[in-house]
Chains A and B, each alone.
Chain A
Amino acid sequence: MSTRKIGEVILKVDNISLRFGGVKALTNISFDVREHEIRAIIGPNGAGKSSMLNVINGVYHPQEGTITFRGETRRDMDTHQAAEQGIARTFQNIALFSGMTVLDNIMTGRNLKIRSSFLEQALWIGRARREEVENRRVVEEIIDFLQLQHVRKTPVARLPYGIKKRVELARALAAEPSMLLLDEPMAGMNVEEKQDMCRFVLDTNEQFGTTIVLIEHDMGVVMDISDRVVVLDYGRKIGDGPPDVVRNDPEVIKAYLGAH
């Protein structure tokens, strides 16, 4: 892990506030993410962690604040823009396309690379055919990387939970993202599956240099793999820094971690 070099700030959120009617989901949140780092967001349930990710990739539009991604400052993100700029994500409760096979699910991750027109695809000629093969090759590499070979042609609905989580990661990776948002990638997994997932996340970060922002409740995992941690509570930021600092912050202990 020490071999990878953490670069400049790639994403910066400034004074983000998000309200749903009278409910304040996020209040004045500011933090930044550096290139190639693993940034964790932790906090108790309902703290606004998932809302924060939804703001970053444009599912929610904050009432106040700005987002700066790769030097471009915006009021809010738009999901399509976010995807085009290389932000991919996974969801807390698996959001796979359940009627499609694993292969097709991962292929959907390549959709922004497709240039062939609708007619070319309907006639299965020229570019459409070539792109299908090229993308299939990339997808097969990801299948290899995440060890999904045996379920390639299985409909997603038939897979066990742990594998589904992995397929979702594969779909996100298929877009070759520069930043990956992972919403509780290890929730509901047993120890062995968690170890596998940890390894995949670290390998992704190391091999592809992908910047990772992750939400996770397993403190062992978070403190082990992340470079810096943001702590949210009731939509407010109560801590930010390297794992060791956050772990010993009295306010964080009181709100979330509890005494050891």
Chain B
Amino acid sequence: MIYREAGQFKTSYLEDGQIFPIRQDRIAVALLLLIAFVVIPLAATPYFFSAILIPFLILSLAALGLNILTGYAGQLSLGTAAFMAVGAFASYNFMLRVEGMPVLLAFVLGGICAAAVGIVFGLPSLRIRGFYLAASTLATQFFVVWCLTKVPWFTNYSSSGVITAQQVEILGFTFDTPARKYLLVLSIVCLLALAAKNMVRSTVGRSWMAVRDMDVAAEVIGFRLMRTKLTAFAVSSFYCGVAGALYAYCYLGTVEPEAYNLDLSFRILFMIIIGGVGSILGSFLGAGFIVLLPILLSFIVHATGLPNQVTSNLELMVFGALIIFFLIVEPHGLARLWQIGKEKLRLWPFPH
């Protein structure tokens, strides 16, 4: 009854093409942003910021990057964490070696380095696809981590390979507390998410989807396959690179190759599979599922008062069962579930 677009008429194509065409959605998003930017910083505890919200946002951004490549452009990739590592180490080295390098610029440059690496490792996509491409992006994962471990210049000849990240300071303002880091991460994630939405609703996004759905037809109507695929690799890797830099600077506090292992790549891939392949919202839902649910489960399981060995295993079992449950209920992910729910809500309380 409440959620209905009746009476909201679109009188221009711009209005019809806006990101949230239904007024109720716009109000909800504005409220969500208000809560995220104002209410949470006032209310949340440091633990909540650094253990839950910051990793959730950063991994959402990485998932968004992977979703651009896999969900929109249809190129399977297992190298997400490697691109994140490139972003983190490039940012670190820019800040280390260039005097007075602004942090935000270093993040952007880190993203651009990741994009360049993405283009190089995206070249095989011109000839191979599907699982074979996934196997070749696996090479990125091993190569990058190997390279960062073996070439001491990247880690500034640190003996342990674990470097403390520099302080994040923008225009004299230091982002040292969890709440401040959270606000920085949140702002970057919001801006990049908006940019991603703009891309997928204009020609560049359509070119990705066209190549994903039917590459011969895409070529015949004038898209250049090479350019389209490599743009997808570049943009995706840029997002992953920025996410990687934030992961090091705002979450871990250290820059180390081992943090960006294959395990992380897989976690991000699962996020988009569970959240929704080819959906921006899905990246956030998926990251929420993988990051937040285990924490929530451990609270619940521990509240039962069972012995420790039982609870930790129970937690994993319930988590696994939930993944299977959601994938059976909706193989297209949580985003599709959300969409179906909204469509039902528009008609509620009537069945049709």
Q: A residues engaging B (CB < 8 A)? A: 57, 59, 79-80, 82-84, 88-89, 91, 95-100, 104, 107-109, 111-112, 114, 116, 118, 121-124, 128-129, 131-133, 136-137, 140, 171-172, 175
Contact = CB atoms under 8 A, between A and B. Distances in A.
Interface size class of B (residues with CB under 8 A): 20 to 34
Decide if the interface of chain A is mainly helix, strand, loop or mixed.
helix
Interface in B1-57: 12-14, 16-17
Contact of B198 (A111, A112, A123, A133): A123
B286 to A, nearest CB: 18
B222 A137 contact: no
B210 A97 contact: yes
A258 B203 CA distance: 49
Interface of B: 12-14, 16-17, 195-196, 198-199, 202-204, 206-207, 209-210, 212-214, 216-224, 231, 278
B278 A99 contact: yes
Decide if the interface of chain B is mainly helix, strand, loop or mixed.
helix
A104 to B, nearest CB: 6
23 contacts: A79-B220, A80-B224, A83-B221, A84-B222, A95-B220, A96-B214, A97-B209, A97-B213, A99-B209, A100-B206, A107-B203, A111-B222, A116-B202, A121-B199, A121-B202, A122-B196, A122-B198, A122-B199, A132-B17, A133-B17, A136-B16, A137-B13, A171-B221
Given A118-B199, A137-B13, 14 more contacts: A57-B220, A59-B220, A79-B220, A82-B220, A88-B221, A97-B212, A111-B221, A121-B203, A122-B199, A132-B14, A132-B202, A133-B13, A133-B17, A136-B13
Nearest to B205: A121
Nearest to B209: A100
A112 B221 CA distance: 8
Contact of B220 (A83, A122, A129): A83
A244 B77 CA distance: 58
Contacts of B17: 132-133, 136
